[in-house]
Amino acid sequence: MLSNFKVVLVETSHPGNIGAVARAMKNMNMNQLRLVTPKHFPHADATARASGADDVLKHASVHDTLQDAIADCQIVLGASARDRTISWPSFTARECAEKWVNDPQKANIALVFGRENSGLKNHELDLCHFLLRIPCNQEYSSLNLAAAVQVVCYELFIASGQQLVSEIGDQGEDPLASAEQMEGFYQHLQQTIADIGFLQPERSKSIMRRLRRIFNRTQLDTKELDILRGILRFSQNHNTKN
């Protein structure tokens, strides 16, 4: 949970966008939402668009000023689509994620998003340490508020390594085959394809090298290896019977 990151929305007009932001955050395992003088909140449209992320809405805090919303944050990042006349130090969403997600100090970090129609005002950016940009089409660079929050939260999620948990989960319960088990399989494979007459000795080295490359790429688990060895045994038996 990236709980040191606080999503701060400034004067959001459409309550539906607040709900969509809550949903975008929860998808990325984030839940710290702060609202500065929202036009309408709480609101049925916010709850409807949150679509199951109402817990994020319920815990959202409402503030009278941006200063108050960021008071406990050590780093304040202002998300802006616009090029500013004064150049502010800026990072892309990915750079921000790489820079701050694994920061050992675990500073509280505010991610400040502006109004749908006019973004953040310069006096609000004065409170920010850096600008946060989502790189996109330069001629059409303003994302919908919730879409912008989604991209930023996604980058934080990826940088925090949380996607690895589900990748490992997808692999099933069987452990990956060890180098020794794979070696046993390659010997068995080589023997079998020689027995069935597929492998001629002069080509055996390069064919076996290619076969190793194929199987090493796939990261077999022990159950899968058992199946393959079963097939090899079966084809050897079949071959000797005929």
Which residues here bind ligand SAH, judged by CB under 6 A? 79-82, 113-114, 116-120, 132-134, 136, 141-143, 145, 148
Beta carbon nearer to ligand SAH, 101 or 189: 101
Cβ contact 66:115 at 8 Å: no
Beta carbon nearer to ligand SAH, 2 or 145: 145
CB of 147 to ligand SAH, least distance (A): 7
CB of 61 to ligand SAH, least distance (A): 19
Q: Return the residue nearest ligand SAH (CB atom).
A: 119
Cβ contact 9:21 at 8 Å: yes
* Residue that the structure tokens 């050992």 belong to: 104
CB of 98 to ligand SAH, least distance (A): 16
Beta carbon nearer to ligand SAH, 131 or 225: 131
Q: Which among 130, 66, 73, 132 is positioned nearest to 106, based on CA atoms?
A: 73
DSSP assignment, residue 58? H
Phi then psi for residue 149, to 5 deg, are -60, -40
Cβ contact 113:8 at 8 Å: yes
CB of 9 to ligand SAH, least distance (A): 9
Beta carbon nearer to ligand SAH, 82 or 233: 82
DSSP assignment, residue 197? T
